Structures are given as structure tokens and as C-alpha cells.
Amino acid sequence: MSVLVFADTSEGIYKKSTLETVSYAKAISDLLGSELVAVSMNATDNTALQNYGANQIVNVQSASLNNKQYAATLTQIAKEKNSTVVVLGNNAIGNSVAPLIAAQLKAGYTSNVVAVPINTAPFTVVRKNFSGKAFGQTQILSEVKVIGLAKNSFGIVEKPTTATVTDFQATETNTTLASVSVDKNSGKIAIADADIVVSGGRGLKEASNFSLIEDLAEVLGAATACSKPVSDMGWRPHSEHVGQTGKPVAANLYIAVAISGAIQHLAGVNASKTKVVINTDPEAPFFKAADYGIVGDAFEVVPKLIEKLKAFKAENA
Ligand SMILES: Cc1cc2nc3c(=O)[nH]c(=O)nc-3n(C[C@H](O)[C@H](O)[C@H](O)COP(=O)(O)OP(=O)(O)OC[C@H]3O[C@@H](n4cnc5c(N)ncnc54)[C@H](O)[C@@H]3O)c2cc1C
């Protein structure tokens, strides 16, 4: 018996969200008294997974697997390792691969899970609904369970151990899809992986004023984002649009500058741990969702913030 976790990488490095997913899977394996098997995908150094409790590391190296092949690989390893629980992160790849694995293993699949199971018989997990506005308990009644972990819900927990490492040869025969190219924003921090996101809204008035957002993001080591109208008007690229119809943000710190806080915007950002809002209008709806609010003009507040942060960094260098 084992718990299997999918440890995907970005350019060979485990993402923070992957380490969180592995930490979470370790907690389940402890609960069940079983081994944790981590399937490491294209990592330059897979031994890092030992720090988060993996007892076995199955090393897969393949540049060209598509989602169906990921699912086939994970399914085959899950069968070989007699896995009763398979854990993936709720990210783009996890969301598309998890249902395929569940179908192949005849398993129940629950996404958006936010905590370790509250019961193992029946196996009961807590998941969030409606962009985190409600929480529900779900029993997974199948023998094998597939779980999608919501980002930023468990945290990264070190549990050093020694793992056995084996290589696995994935089948790369082409099926129906092949990825032919990927365009990445080079040199920029991706919103999905960012710890801190600085986001600007229509209140910044024109595209050139987004230098304020970029400057604040640079000093914080943050990703930049924006509200929908800002990308609709072409002030910022669509890849930065966050919200219900844009990218979801689950950062540790989300700083919203001159964004009103419409429900469609909040739906995409309220998984963030701490929200700071800067807005001239004390009645802006975002203040109700904020942890910290500054009622003030972004053109005065943000430069002061940058100045203070730079001074703080210089003092603490
Ligand atoms: C189906 C649907 C889906 C949508 N999906 C999304 C989505 O995914 N993401 C999204 O963002 N929106 C989405 N929207 C749009 C959403 O309803 C809002 O219209 C949008 O979020 C407003 O953007 P904003 O806050 O930047 O602009 P505004 O509503 O114009 O707000 C600007 C804010 O800036 C403040 N401000 C002005 N000047 C300053 C200053 N100098 N300093 C500080 N503050 C200042 C104002 O007080 C105001 O609160 C969607 C709408 C629909 C109908």
C-alpha cells in the first residue's frame, strides 16, 4: 500500500506548490501508515523530495509527454506501487491529468481539497467551493482515491527521510496531441508561482503609469498582474489579467492598487493569504475583503512604499 504524489517541475526545479503537494501527501501517508511514493517529472535534482518525506522517488525524464501520457505514466506507477491515494496539485497540469487517472483507476476524484482527510473510513476530505466562499465535506467511497490539492492550503512542511530512487521509462509514442512550442514570459515571475503579486487597476489611468506597479513588484521580488479592463484596453498583456475569467492567484501577499474589488476580480484572488488594498475611495468594495487597507492616492502612496521598502532592504542587507 502507498500514497502516490505527482511532483512536477518547471525547467527542472520543483515549484513551491509541488513541495506543498508533496508535504500534504506525506501527511496522508502518515495518517494511513503507508509509504509515500513521489513521481518526479524531469527534475535536475530529485533528491530534494527526501526533505519532504518521500520514501520512494520514481524518476521520470521525458521532454515530450502530453497530458494523456502523464496520466498513463502515473496510472502505471500507481498500479505497480499499489497506491490507494494519488495526490496532485490543482494547477493546469494536475487539473487535466487527475480526472484521466481517476477514470483509468476507477477512482473517485475530488479537487480543491484544503486539508488532510478528517476521517479515513469513510475517507472524508474538506474541499472549497465557489472560489473559497463555502467549504464542504466529500466522502470518496472508491478503493483508490484521487485528490487535487488547492494551492496555499496546507503549506510546505519538511520531514527529512532517506528515499530509494528508481528510474521509470515513460512511453512516448504519440497519441492525439503534441506540444510544438511554448512561449514563456522570460525573466518575469509567473503569477501562478509567485509568493507576492502586485496588481494594478483602471484607476491607474493609463498604460505608462504601470511603471509604478513594475517598480513596486521589482523591489518586492513579486509578479505583476492587473484587472480585466486593464488588459482589455491593452495597457497590460492578457497573461496578467486575474480574476474569474483570468488567472487565479493564491499568493501569500496580494497588493491591489487602484482596483475597485468587483466580485469577478475577487473570485480569482481571494485564495491569497494576505490582501493589501490601496484605493482613493474608502467605500471601494475591495476594502471589505482586505487584510490591510490604505485609503490614498496610488500616485502618492506607491512611491512612498517603494522608498521605504528600498530603505528597509538597504538597512537589512
Ligand atoms: C462576466 C464577467 C467577468 C469578469 N471577469 C473579470 C475578471 O476576471 N477580472 C477582473 O478584474 N474583472 C472582471 N470583470 C470586470 C469587473 O466586473 C470589473 O469591471 C473590473 O474588475 C473593474 O476593474 P478595476 O477595478 O480595475 O476598475 P474600476 O472599477 O474602474 O475601479 C478603479 C478603482 O480605482 C480607484 N482609483 C481611481 N484613482 C485612483 C488613484 N489615483 N489611487 C488609488 N485608487 C484609485 C477607484 O476608486 C476605483 O475603485 C468581469 C466582468 C464580467 C461581467
**Sequence ranges of the domains in the chain:** 2-168, 191-315
Q: Is 145 in the pocket of ligand 1 (CB under 6 A)?
A: no
Same-fold call for 2-168 versus 191-315? yes
| 304 contacts: CB under 8 Å, gap ≥ 6 | none
Tell me how far the alpha carbon of residue 279 lies from the centroid of ligand 1, in angstroms. Answer: 11
Residue 218 backbone dihedrals phi, psi, to 5 degrees: -65, -45
Residues 6-61 have pLDDT tens digits of 999 988 999 888 999 999 999 999 999 999 999 999 999 988 999 999 999 999 98
Most informative mutation of 264, 280, 283 for ligand 1 (most atoms within 8 A of CB): 264
Question: What's the confidence (pLDDT) of residue 167?
Answer: 95
* Cβ atoms of residues 191 and 223 within 8 Å: yes
- 3-class SS of residue 144: coil
Give me 131's grid cell: 472560489
pLDDT (mean) for 224-248: 94
Q: Is 243 in the pocket of ligand 1 (CB under 6 A)?
A: yes
Residues 58-112 have pLDDT tens digits of 999 887 788 888 999 999 999 999 999 999 999 889 999 999 999 999 999 999 9
Q: How confident is the model at residue 271 (pLDDT cuts 50, 70, 90)?
A: confident
User: Domain 2-168 maps to which CATH number in 3.40.50.2000, 3.40.50.620, 3.40.640.10, 3.40.50.720?
Assistant: 3.40.50.620
Residues 161-205 have pLDDT tens digits of 999 999 998 877 666 777 777 666 656 788 877 889 999 999 999
What single string gives the DSSP state of each residue in 234-269?
TSS-GGGBBSTTSB----SEEEEES----HHHHHHH
Tell me how far the alpha carbon of residue 258 lies from the centroid of ligand 1, in angstroms. Answer: 8
What CA–CA distance (Å, rounded) separates 270 from 169?
40
Q: What is the pTM of this model?
A: 0.73
Residue 285 DSSP class: T
Residues 111-149 have pLDDT tens digits of 999 999 999 999 999 999 877 778 999 999 999 999 999
* Amino acid letter for position 187: G
Tell me which fold the domain 191-315 belongs to: Rossmann fold (3.40.50)
With a pLDDT cut of 90, the percent of the chain lying above it is 78
Please provide the average confidence, as pLDDT, over all residues in the chain: 93
Most informative mutation of 197, 255, 279 for ligand 1 (most atoms within 8 A of CB): 279
* Cβ atoms of residues 32 and 123 within 8 Å: no
* Element spanning 303, H or E: helix 298-315
